Structures are given as structure tokens and as C-alpha cells.
Amino acid sequence: MTPALSIRDLGIRMGGRQILHGVSAEIHEGEFIGIFGPNGAGKTTLLRALLGLCPISCGELLVFGKSPGKANHSIGYMPQRGDSIEGTALSARSLVSAVRRGESWGIPWPSSASRNDVALALELAGASSYADRPFSVLSPGEKTRVMLAQSLIDKPRLVVLDEPLASLDPKNQMLLVEHIEKLRKETGTTVLFIAHDINPLLGVMDRVLFIAGGGAALGTVDEVITAPSLTRLYGMEMDVIKTDKHVFIVSSESNVTEAACHA
């Protein structure tokens, strides 16, 4: 079976700076991958590269065996920010409906098939109850759900979510993660999930892709989230504190946890 994502010795340069280099990873279909790393590490850049939105300077990146941009109809994408629609009076339902087969020609006439798909995606994302209110008045957490619905609309084989937990409270973080996990079980989609705190994802992730210092490490939590492996990535002394249910990454020098740094 072709892997969902196969990355070999990938390098990305942007604005004259080497953002990522020597990244290799193979992600299988149906996996739930948590992507972590400090601000500016290149997490969003990697997602954009696999969508074909930013050029690769060296190495190879294949999505379902095809080069980036060639398999995008089977990828659902939730961008880190939706600035362009912050003020819109359009309802969540209209937004999701605009995304459905958004790349087709003609007029955006909502057929009954389209209305069903939209209702289903909203249902799946748990956003049905406020689907007809204007998007601009929804709370950040509700907006996240709508954006999730939007990413599910064209029945993707791969869903890439860029920090869906930002601006959610701990309870809603948990609910959203459970929700996405349930979705994955039902539909068998591959999930790439960027977050800053590892803990909400501990129970559901198959593996972790940790990006720092231009490089990346892929493996299970126990393999990657260890003091030696993170020290190598960050290029500075890092410690990992594990309790029964929690993991904290701390810099040995500054005694702040990774989660606390970025919250």
C-alpha cells in the first residue's frame, strides 16, 4: 500500500533562510500523527509544502504517491487562521457549502446533494446547532468546529489541521480531540494534527512528528519525547518530565515547560 505521506531528505528554503532540512518520514494511511515543535519551527510550512503551497528546495515529498498539489482534492485542510472570514455575516452552513467542490466551475447553486453533504459534515464536526447563525458572531471554539466541518466536506483521505486547539478551553480541547478520533475511526482518514501541548493528544496519537531546529523526528511518544532526542533536535539541553498521565517538556536552562511557553 502506498503510504499517505512519504518524505525523504526534504529541505525547504524561504526568504533566503533554510527552514527545514533533512526531514524524512513515512506516514501510513489511517494514522493519527501529532505534530509539535516551538513557534517558527516550520510546522505550518511543512503542511503548506505537502499541499503544494510552498516550493521544496531539495528532497522528495509524496502525498498518496503523488507530488504535492496533485492529490489535493483528497486532502481536507484547516488553516491556522481564518482572518479573511472573521467579519462575514454568512452562516457557517453557507461557508461550508462554498468550500464543497469549491474548485468547480459555474455558479454556486446548492443542489440537494450538496445540502446533504454540508449537513452531514456539520453534523460530523458537531457544529449543527449553530450552523445557521452568522459565522462572525460564533465563539472561537464554535468557529473551530465550523472550520473542521469545512475540512471534512469533500470526504478527504487526509485531514491536516493546523492548531485546532488554539483558543479552546481544556474541556473543549478534549472534546474536539475525542471527536476527531471518532471521525478517524469511522472514516479511516489519516490525520495530521498540529498542537503545542502534547497532553490532550496523548491517548489518541499513533505517532509524533516533532519539529525543531530545522530537523524532525518521527516516532511514538516514548521514542521521540525523550530528553536525548529533544536535546538533539533543539540543539540545547532539554528535559522530559513524565507523570502517569502527563508529559512535560522543559528546557533545562530556563525551567519553563513547552506547553506553558506557547499557551
Partner 1 sequence: MLDQLLSNFSYDFVRNAFFAGSIAAILGAVVGYFVIIRNVGFAAHALAHIGFTGATGAALFGLSSLQGMLLISCVAGALMGVSGNKLHRSELAVGMVLSFALGVGTLFLALYKGFAGQATSILFGNIFGVSHSQIVATLVLAILSLVALALFSKRLLFASLLPELAESRGISLTGLSSAFMVILGIAVTLASQVVGILLVFTLVIGPAGIAARFCRGFWSSILISILIGLFSVWTGILLACVTNWPPSFWITAIIFTLYLIGETLARYVFRLER
Ligand X SMILES: Nc1ncnc2c1ncn2[C@@H]1O[C@H](COP(=O)(O)OP(=O)(O)OP(=O)(O)O)[C@@H](O)[C@H]1O
Q: Which residues bind Mg ion (CB under 5 A)?
A: 44, 80
Q: By CB under 6 A, name the one of 1, 15, 105, 171 that touches ligand X.
A: 15
Nearest to 21 by CA among 8, 34, 40, 33: 8
Q: Which is nearer to partner 1, 11 or 82 (CB)?
A: 82
Does 41 bind ligand X (CB under 6 A)? Our answer is: yes
Does 21 bind ligand X (CB under 6 A)? Our answer is: no
Does 75 bind partner 1 (CB under 8 A)? Our answer is: yes
Q: How many residues does the chain have?
A: 263
Q: Which does 9 bind (CB under 5 to 8 A by kind): ligand X, Mg ion, partner 1, none?
A: none
Residue for grid cell 498539489:
69
| Ranges within 140-159 binding partner 1 (CB under 8 A) | 150
- Tally Cβ neighbours within 10 Å of residue 33: 22
Kindly list the distances between the CA atom of residue 135 and the CA atoms of 36, 87, 140, 172, in Å, as whole numbers in the listed order.
Answer: 29, 8, 10, 19
Q: By CB under 8 A, name the one of 9, 67, 89, 155 that touches partner 1.
A: 89
**Amino acid (one-letter) located at 6:** S
Sheet order of strands, 75-78 included:
75-78, 158-162, 190-194, 32-36, 207-212, 215-219
Contact by Cβ (8 Å): 227, 212: no
Contact by Cβ (8 Å): 168, 144: yes
Does 43 bind ligand X (CB under 6 A)? Our answer is: yes
| Ranges within 61-90 binding ligand X (CB under 6 A) | 80
Q: Which is nearer to ligand X, 91 or 199 (CB)?
A: 199
Which neighbouring-strand residues pair with 134? 91
- Cβ at position 94, least distance to ligand X in Å: 28
**Amino acid (one-letter) located at 157:** R
- Cβ at position 90, least distance to partner 1 in Å: 6
Does 113 bind partner 1 (CB under 8 A)? Our answer is: no
Q: Residue of minimal CB distance from ligand X?
A: 15
Q: Contact positions toward partner 1, by CB under 8 A?
A: 51-53, 69, 72-73, 75, 77, 79, 82, 84-85, 87-91, 93-95, 97-99, 101-108, 132-134, 136-137, 150
